């Protein structure tokens, strides 16, 4: 049962017998109690709804048990951001820069490259002041080398768990939101770095890229006729190995070096033979670098689709790679040891994630670098593990080959890095230069200051929480009032006081006041009765008000409620009395007229009036539930929404008794007296009261007008039978032979006239023919003869000359418009001309056509049809035959913001209807290709009911498995516009 009903049936039960003047203090307190039984703490598991005595389940549980200090704050432990001992520093992924982070890992752990970079001169000296760095300035690296220096120094000695490489990425001009080809990035950056370092004077710095990464091979061509060898020497920084069709790395290397036959159209021109000869060509490895980068060509160009795709096939590789069988000069040291595996997770070339497995050259341990997260592998072993647990894009699953000891296989590795084995131990003393170390120390100091600040904030929150905990423990036990003096406090405020996540505000009890500035009886359900002791502490600490003691219980509201409840009880008795009185016949002229509708609903109307009075009592000086409301405005709004008041259903428009006796009934004087008690302002009409004289006159006039309209309609229908039934109408495209002149009226006139003729009592007569709508401001005709036979035929109606004479008699005609047929030629006329009066106005006609075109191009919602062309035949998809699109805005709307949810027009819906991705869609209309993505529908000529032809390119092979294939909507530009191409 709802609290309001329980209030009436329980706490207000005494009101049926007690008069308003007899209401005592005990009655008042009883009226304010919804439940008479007090809440027993410990029995309730949740708050008793509406019971002001129940103080259980209002948020106290979080303070009364074991307290977790972490619940007093939402600040993470700053030490979680601290670098762990003997661990590496992570790199932040700025959006789509994981491919950059993987190579930074590989280059950082190349100790020789790192040492050489540290030896590069730096502009940091400009920032030095005496023995330290200027405090008011932040160090800004000026070159790519300086950015890499500072980044490596931070990776080596920073106290942070991970660092931000945004300075380095910004210096290269890379788009952080666009995934790029990692292999291309590696080539371009190495080329840029080599070009930059080549200008250094120190040979250890100038030649470091060549020493570490540069090898040499020769393209050797041998003539089969004379045996002459032709060599073309070339340097390389990585070997690009085809993996398609291969299972082992050694097979890929063998194919890279295999001999190629030059025959037929591909024969070789031999300088010695001075003619084209059959020949063989192959690559010979002349020298190998210290660091051998093997690029596995997983991302290949698909000529059919015009896009790259990824080869998700397994390739096996060993930790030890002997390259001696593949080099031309034997006897050297060509045994390599695996030092890094770069992984691309994902089935598409345009999406996925890059991570790096790299061996620490100092400890020999393997680490997995995944942006900020770094994981050390157990047992100094490479473990690819989950990096290979990725579903195949095709239905056929390829099983992972078995790998022996010291070998691995991967379907996601795109680059393998091998280091030349040497007997010498690697240099483990790569020292950060003093100027860089000072910059790192400064950053570490900032980090430590931040840690201290965060720790202090945590401590303050904890101290505040503990103090609040002690306050709650102390006060919550003293909240129940019992028999001692008490006050009422808002339940909402108490809950916020117990909520540790929100600061406690001053107490505000205004929303619970009645119009007498006391506690409203109906608001007791959202209040809590607390002890005066607890209330004193609350108001002294938090302020607010007003304070609601036992004196705040409103006697006026209780008395008013008592009066209304007694009236409702009396209403039930009076309803029975009135029903009995209505059964008796009315004698003489003592009766009163009452509307039948009012008699059916008078009890409900009386109840609504009582509820309104009750509702007015609930208002507090025009305020309710804390929201201001003007009483007069609220009544006016309710009045507009309600039906007529009692007995107003028999009022005529002039405020007198209506003339229709079917809508009213005569009741006795006794019955009217009872009804008048509830509706004292109701209109009163004794039985002798005459009906409204004005309505009687209007009724007679209406009857006369109806008769007149019927007569006019019959006369006009008889005079113009063909115009009414649309039979035997003349047609311009098939001009009738029996006349040379036809007249024109607007179709609007014909339609309005027909409405009147069909229903003369409901419509007004048509008195004039308005042909001005068919003419321009200069008085010229707006339509050509050709247009009136086609698109404009719906706007005009053709009239026979005999009909026109009758129309001129029956109606007022503003303009005469006629078409005359003239035969041209004296003998055997061969041409017919049609002349209009008035003549066509060419300028206005042209303006009308332009306006019609603009109207077609400026629409808010329209249907556009899309037909798919397959093998030069149109195919319309049944599941999505049309698109509802929005078009170009009008000039006035262009600057206005679009409503929420409204999108610009696009054709992505076609992807779902025809399974054609946007970059595979070739759209055209009337032979014109729709290629401008920035154009509006209007400028493209797409008007309502247009048909767009769709021709689809071949889809990408693994399209179904590509989550974010939508990235490829624009042509690939790679690193165009970045600093990588600046050199």
Q: Which residue ranges form the domains of the chain, and what is each CATH number?
A: 4-55+480-557 (no CATH), 208-385+402-420 (3.90.70.10), 706-856 (3.30.2230.10), 858-868+904-954 (3.10.20)
Q: What value does the mean pLDDT take over residues 354-371?
A: 90
CB atoms near residue 597 (< 10 Å): 17
101: nearest Cα among 373, 399, 406? 373
Alpha carbons 978 and 172: distance in angstroms, whole number: 6
**Residue 945, phi then psi, degrees to nearest 5:** 70, 10
Greatest CA separation found in the chain?
A: 145
Q: What does 389-407 look like in DSSP terms, one character per residue?
A: ----SSSSPPPPPP--TTE
Identify the CA nearest to 324 among candidates 276, 277, 285, 283: 285
State whether residue 717 is helix, strand or coil: helix
649-706 tens-digit pLDDT: 888 888 888 888 888 889 898 889 988 888 888 999 998 888 888 888 888 878 778 8
The residue count for the chain? 983
709 is catalytic: no
Q: How many CA atoms lie within 13 A of 294 on its CB side?
A: 27
Between 932 and 735, residue with greater pLDDT: 735
Q: Which of 17-21, 629-633, 885-889, 909-913 reaches the highest mean pLDDT? A: 17-21
Q: Looking at the whole model, is its pTM more than 0.85?
A: no
- Residue 68 has a pLDDT of 60
CB 557 within 8 A of CB 589: no
Answer with the residue of higher pLDDT: 890 or 752.
752
Give the residue among 300, 547, 333, 304 at the shortest CA–CA distance from 420. 333
Please tell me which of 433-442, 493-502, 932-941 the model is most confident about, judged by mean pLDDT. Answer: 433-442
SS3 content of the chain, % helix, strand, coil (to 5): 40, 20, 40
Q: Is residue 294 predicted with pLDDT exceeding 90?
A: yes
Residue where the block lists tokens 């092979």: 957
> What proportion of the chain, given as a percentage, has pLDDT over 90?
13
Tokens of 461: 């929150």
Burial class (CB in 10 A: 0-12, 13-18, 19+), 953: middle
- Distance CA(596)–CA(646), nearest Å, equals 10
Of residues 434 and 61, the one with the higher pLDDT is: 434
296 strand-pairing partners:
241
Average pLDDT on 811-839 reads 80
Among 27, 48, 54, 98, the active-site one is 98
Residue 636 has pLDDT above 90, yes or no: no
Burial class (CB in 10 A: 0-12, 13-18, 19+), 98: buried
User: In the structure encoding, which two tokens stand for residue 714, read together?
Assistant: 């019959």
Say how far residue 215 (Cα) sits from the centre of its chain.
53
Closest CA to 39 of 706, 625, 528, 664: 528
Q: Residue 136: is its pLDDT beyond 60?
A: no
Report d(CA 910, CA 888) in Å as an integer: 19
Phi, psi angle pair for 458, to nearest 5°: -65, -45
**How does residue 983 score in pLDDT terms, banded at 50, 70 and 90?**
very low
Whether the CB-CB separation of 497 and 490 falls below 8 Å is answered with no
Residue 787's pLDDT band, with cuts at 50, 70 and 90, is confident
**CA gyration radius for the chain?**
47
Beta-bridge mates of residue 301: 308
Asked, as a colleague might, if the bond just before 932 is cis with ω within 30 of 0, I would say no
The reported pLDDT for the residue numbered 283 is 92
Query: Hey, which residues does 309 pair with through a beta bridge?
Result: 300
What is the structure's pLDDT at 906? 47
Ranges assigned E (strand) in 209-270: 215-223, 229-236, 239-241, 260-262, 268-270
The one catalytic residue in 147, 246, 344, 353 is: 353
Write down the H helix ranges in 726-862: 747-758, 785-789, 801-810, 842-857
Angle (nearest 5°) at CA 13 between 12 and 14: 90
pLDDT in tens, 556-597: 888 877 777 778 888 888 888 888 888 888 877 788 999 888
The pLDDT score that the predictor gives to residue 926 is 74
Dihedrals φ, ψ of 345, to 5°?
Answer: -95, 125
Q: Would you state the pLDDT for residue 639? A: 43
Query: What kind and span of H or E run contains 63?
Result: helix 61-64
What is residue 811's three-state secondary structure? coil
Band of residue 781 on the pLDDT scale cut at 50, 70, 90: confident
> What per-residue confidence (pLDDT) applies to 506?
92
pLDDT score, position 151 = 92
Question: pLDDT confidence of 643, banded at 50, 70, 90?
Answer: low
Question: What pLDDT was estimated at residue 130?
Answer: 46
**876 and 902 in contact (C-beta within 8 Å)?**
no
Q: Does residue 373 have a pLDDT over 60?
A: yes
- pLDDT value, residue 395: 43
Q: For residue 306, is pLDDT > 90?
A: no
**Helices in 625-770 by DSSP H: which ranges?**
631-641, 669-678, 693-719, 721-725, 747-758
Mean local confidence (pLDDT), 780-807:
85
| 34 in Cβ contact with 10 (< 8 Å) | yes
Residue 849 burial by Cβ neighbours in a 10 Å radius (0-12, 13-18, 19+): exposed
Q: Strands, E, within 878-946: which ranges?
A: 882-885, 921-925, 928-929
- From residue 155, alpha-carbon distances to 7, 104, 437 in Å are 72, 10, 11
Q: What percent of the chain has pLDDT over 70?
A: 77
Residue 898 has pLDDT above 50, yes or no: no
**Cβ atoms within 10 Å of 201's Cβ, excluding its own:** 7
Distance between CA atoms of residues 682 and 692, nearest Å: 18
Q: How far apart are CA 224 and CA 275, in angstroms?
A: 12
- The mean pLDDT value of the chain amounts to 78
Write down the pLDDT at residue 879: 36
Q: What is the mean pLDDT of residues 518-539?
A: 86
**Residue 514 a catalytic site member:** no
Residue pair 4/12 in contact by the 8 Å Cβ criterion:
no
**Neighbouring C-alpha atoms within 13 Å toward the C-beta of 872:** 0
Which residues have C-beta within 8 Å of that of residue 385, sequence separation ≥ 6? none
Q: How far apart are CA 125 and CA 400, in angstroms?
A: 55
How many C-beta atoms lie closer than 10 Å to residue 518's C-beta? 19
User: Hey, which of 338-347, 464-473, 955-964 has the most confident mean pLDDT?
Assistant: 338-347
919 in Cβ contact with 895 (< 8 Å): no
Q: Which of 92, 978, 42, 112 is nearest to 480 (CA)?
A: 42
Question: Which pLDDT tens digit goes with each residue over 596-616?
Answer: 888 988 888 888 877 776 665
Residue spans of beta strands (DSSP E) within 128-214 = 128-129, 132-133, 162-163
SS3 549: coil
The pLDDT score that the predictor gives to residue 75 is 67
């Amino acid at each position: 049962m709802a609290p309001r009903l329980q209030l009436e049936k329980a706490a207000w039960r005494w009101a049926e017998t007690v008069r308003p003047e007899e209401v005592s203090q005990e009655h008042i307190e009883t009226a304010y109690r919804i439940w008479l039984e007090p809440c027993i703490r410990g029995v309730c598991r949740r708050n008793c709804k509406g019971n002001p005595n129940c103080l259980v389940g209002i948020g106290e549980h979080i303070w009364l048990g074991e307290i977790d200090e972490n619940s007093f704050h939402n600040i993470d432990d700053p030490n979680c951001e601290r670098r762990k001992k003997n661990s590496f520093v992570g790199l932040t992924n700025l959006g789509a820069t994981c491919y950059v982070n993987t190579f930074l890992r590989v280059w950082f752990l190349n100790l020789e490259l790192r040492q050489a970079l540290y030896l590069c001169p730096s502009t940091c000296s400009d920032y030095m002041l005496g023995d330290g760095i200027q405090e008011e300035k932040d160090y800004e690296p000026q070159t790519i080398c300086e950015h890499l220096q500072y980044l490596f120094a931070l990776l080596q000695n920073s106290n942070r768990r991970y660092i931000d490489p945004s300075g380095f990425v910004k210096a290269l001009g890379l788009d952080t939101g666009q995934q790029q080809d990692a292999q291309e990035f590696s080539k371009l950056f190495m080329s840029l770095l080599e070009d930059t370092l080549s200008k250094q004077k120190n040979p250890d710095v100038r030649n470091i890229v060549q020493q570490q990464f540069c090898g040499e091979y020769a393209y050797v061509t041998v003539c089969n006729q004379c045996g002459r060898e032709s060599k073309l020497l070339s340097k390389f920084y990585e070997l690009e190995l085809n993996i398609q069709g291969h299972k082992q790395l050694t097979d890929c290397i063998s194919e890279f070096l295999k001999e190629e036959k030059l025959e037929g159209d591909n024969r070789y021109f031999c300088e010695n033979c001075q003619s084209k000869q059959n020949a063989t060509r192959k690559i010979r490895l002349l020298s190998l670098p210290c660091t051998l980068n093997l690029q596995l060509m997983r991302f290949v160009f698909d000529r059919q689709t015009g896009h790259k795709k990824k080869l998700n096939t397994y390739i096996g590789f060993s930790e030890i790679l002997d390259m001696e069988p593949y080099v031309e000069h034997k006897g050297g040291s060509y045994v390599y040891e695996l030092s890094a595996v770069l992984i691309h997770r994902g089935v598409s070339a345009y999406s996925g994630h890059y991570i790096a497995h790299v061996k620490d050259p100092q400890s020999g341990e393997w680490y997995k670098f995944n942006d900020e997260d770094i994981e050390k592998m157990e047992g100094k072993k490479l473990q690819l593990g989950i990096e290979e647990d990725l579903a195949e894009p095709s239905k056929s699953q390829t099983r992972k080959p078995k790998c022996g000891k010291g070998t691995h296989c991967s379907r996601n590795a795109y680059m393998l890095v091998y280091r030349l084995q040497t007997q010498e131990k690697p240099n483990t003393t790569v020292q950060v230069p003093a100027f860089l170390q000072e910059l790192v120390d400064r950053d570490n100091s900032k980090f430590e200051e931040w840690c201290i600040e965060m720790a202090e904030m945590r401590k303050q929150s904890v101290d505040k929480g503990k103090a609040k905990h002690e306050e709650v423990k102390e006060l919550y036990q003293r909240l129940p009032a019992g028999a001692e003096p008490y006050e009422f406090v808002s339940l909402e405020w108490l809950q916020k006081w117990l909520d540790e996540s929100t600061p406690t505000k001053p107490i505000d009890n205004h929303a619970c006041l009645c119009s007498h500035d006391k506690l409203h009886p109906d608001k007791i359900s959202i209040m809590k009765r607390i002890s005066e002791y607890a209330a004193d502490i609350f108001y002294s600490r938090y302020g607010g008000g007003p304070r609601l003691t036992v004196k705040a219980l409103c006697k006026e509201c209780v008395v008013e409620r008592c009066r209304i409840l007694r009236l409702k009880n009396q209403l039930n008795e009076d309803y029975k009395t009135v029903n009995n009185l209505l059964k008796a016949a009315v004698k003489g002229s003592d009766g009163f007229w009452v509307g039948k509708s009012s008699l059916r609903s008078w009890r409900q109307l009386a109840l609504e009036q009582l509820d309104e009075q009750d509702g007015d009592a609930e208002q507090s000086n025009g305020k309710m539930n804390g929201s201001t409301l003007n009483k007069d405005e609220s009544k006016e709004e309710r009045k507009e929404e309600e039906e007529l008041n009692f007995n107003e259903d028999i009022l005529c428009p002039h405020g007198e008794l209506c003339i229709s006796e079917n809508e009213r009934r005569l009741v006795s004087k006794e019955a009217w007296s009872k009804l008048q008690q509830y509706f004292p302002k109701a209109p009163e009409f004794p039985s002798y009261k005459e009906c409204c004289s004005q309505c009687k006159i209007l009724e007679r006039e209406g009857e006369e007008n109806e008769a007149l309209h019927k007569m006019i309609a019959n006369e006009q229908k008889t005079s113009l039978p063909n115009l009414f039934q649309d039979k035997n109408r003349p047609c311009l495209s098939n001009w009738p032979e029996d006349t040379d002149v036809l007249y024109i009226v607007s179709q609007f006139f014909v339609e309005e006239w027909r409405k009147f003729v069909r229903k003369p009592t409901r419509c007004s007569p048509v008195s004039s023919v308005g042909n001005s709508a068919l003419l321009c401001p200069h008085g010229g005709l707006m339509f050509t003869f050709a247009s009136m036979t086609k698109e404009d035929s719906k706007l005009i109606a053709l009239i026979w000359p005999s009909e026109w004479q009758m129309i001129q008699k029956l109606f007022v005609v503003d303009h005469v418009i006629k078409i005359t047929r003239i035969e041209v030629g004296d003998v055997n006329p061969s041409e017919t001309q049609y002349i209009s009066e008035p003549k066509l106005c060419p300028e206005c006609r042209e303006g009308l056509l332009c306006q019609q075109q603009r109207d077609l191009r400026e629409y808010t919602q329209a249907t556009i049809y899309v037909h798919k062309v397959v093998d030069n035949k149109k195919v319309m998809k049944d599941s999505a035959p049309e698109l509802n699109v929005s078009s170009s805005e009008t000039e006035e709307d262009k600057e206005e913001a679009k409503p929420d949810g409204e999108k610009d027009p696009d054709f992505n819906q076609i992807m779902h209807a025809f399974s054609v991705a946007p970059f595979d869609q070739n759209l055209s209309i009337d032979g014109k290709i729709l290629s401008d993505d920035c154009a509006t529908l209007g400028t493209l000529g797409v008007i309502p009911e247009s048909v767009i032809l769709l021709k689809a390119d071949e889809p990408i092979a693994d399209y179904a498995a590509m989550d974010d294939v939508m990235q490829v909507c624009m042509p690939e530009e790679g690193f165009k516009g970045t600093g990588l191409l600046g050199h």
